[in-house]
Amino acid sequence: MIQDREIICEIRGAAGVVVLNRPKALNALSLGMVRELARALDAWEHDPQVARVVVISTSEKAFSAGGDIRWLHDCGKAGRHDEMLAFWGEEYILNHRIKTYPKPYVALIDGIVMGGGVGISLHGSHRIAGDRYLFAMPEVGIGFFPDVGATYALPRLDGGFGNFLALTGERVGAADAISSGLATHGVPSERMAELADALTRPGAIDDILAGFTLQRGPGPLHGERAMMAEAFTAATLPEVIQRLRQAAESGSGFAGKLLQTIAVKSPTSVAIAFEQMRRGGGLGFAEAMRTEYRIVSRIARGHDFYEGVRAVVIDKDQAPRWQPSTLDAVDPAAIAAYFAPLGTGELKLEG
């Protein structure tokens, strides 16, 4: 039955509608979902009936809470690295497809949007945040790294905001998402279904959105932006930590909290994420995705990803034993190796 499918892609009026339909897994992306969405985008690109793509979720809790991390962990533990890299490769190609898609791509995000869910929403032309919107790239907490195009998108947020998101994994609500550029519009949750229906009818997309858009006030992070900009625009990772420490010593409780947050993340992942942000601002989208594929190809054969998933997802003891265990012990040469070209194994992308 159609209701049992993990993702439903169908034409409704003037829109190609994508329904994320894996609510028990908070719409975590599977390889089948990635492939079905890619197939639909190919079919709709030259279909004159389809004026825009609209992505919605059947879950009240989540738009999409990431990729299928447990499956990836189990593949790697079993030595099936080719299967892991096939998933990431197809996912990254899909992210690039969305970024370069010639028709408006509208994601209606009302709930959790993390990891893989970010990859199928953030690169679209219109990102609509409902009241329950909650964005995070929490990968450094499981020994992974902010991927799915974060290398390109996050460094382009003003005031070091992307660096803050990448290094801490902190969650951001709708108001802060709109002010930072993560989201393009805010719409009340109770009007999301009505908006989805309106987008299936002919008409200019911006005119349709204008009838639903809610002006939100400053978000909870508004008062912290100056401190964050000072700390997270530092040229080196040790300098970021030092500036946060100085802010904390000057009375910033938020800076102190962020120091504690970063301290429990995978040191390797934090160092990779900082280097991504440093390089990413100068990369085009395709090169950013190739860079991420280089990183993930090494992480799949490393230690911290498996240890992080064990501690957070499997055993849930929240006590990962990272290798190395501190930022000071991270070897810069080891981090640089994650970014080295793969030769014939590079991700194949146009552009």
Q: Which domains does the chain have, with CATH numbers?
A: 2-345 (3.90.226.10)
Residue 287 a catalytic site member? no
Which one of 68, 91, 131, 139 is the catalytic residue? 139
Token couple for 169: 């994994």
Percent of the chain exceeding pLDDT 90 equals 96
- The b/e string for 168-190 (b: 16+ C-beta within 10 A; e otherwise) is bbbebbbbbbbbbebbbbbbeee
Whether 339 and 298 have beta carbons less than 8 Å apart is answered as no
Which one of 147, 292, 304, 307 is the catalytic residue? 147
**pLDDT, tens only, 245-290:** 999 999 999 999 999 999 999 999 999 999 999 999 999 999 999 9
Confidence label for 2 from pLDDT (cuts 50, 70 and 90) = low
Res 1: pLDDT: 53
Dist CA 154 CA 4 (whole Å): 35
Residue 116 a catalytic site member? yes
Which one of 66, 67, 76, 169 is the catalytic residue? 67
Confidence label for 351 from pLDDT (cuts 50, 70 and 90) = low
pLDDT average, residue stretch 232-249: 98
- The b/e string for 1-32 (b: 16+ C-beta within 10 A; e otherwise) is eeeeebbbbeeeebbbbbbbbbeebbbbbbbe
Task: State yes or no: pLDDT of 157 exceeds 80.
Answer: yes
Which one of 116, 169, 302, 308 is the catalytic residue? 116
Angle at 234 between CA 233 and CA 235, to 5 degrees: 115
Dist CA 66 CA 86 (whole Å): 17
Residue 139 a catalytic site member? yes
**pLDDT, tens only, 93-131:** 999 999 999 999 999 999 999 999 999 999 999 999 999
Question: What is the residue-averaged pLDDT of the chain?
Answer: 96
Task: State yes or no: pLDDT of 313 exceeds 60.
Answer: yes
DSSP letter (8 states) at residue 28: P
**pLDDT, tens only, 190-235:** 999 999 999 999 999 999 999 999 988 899 999 999 999 999 999 9
Res 303: pLDDT: 98
- From residue 260, give the alpha-carbon distance in Å to each of 136, 272, 316: 17, 19, 20
Residue 147 a catalytic site member? yes
Dist CA 98 CA 177 (whole Å): 20
Res 67: pLDDT: 84
Res 4: pLDDT: 80
pLDDT average, residue stretch 298-311: 98
- The CA R_g of the chain, rounded to the nearest whole Å, is 20
Confidence label for 68 from pLDDT (cuts 50, 70 and 90) = confident
- From residue 86, give the alpha-carbon distance in Å to each of 72, 114, 121: 11, 21, 21
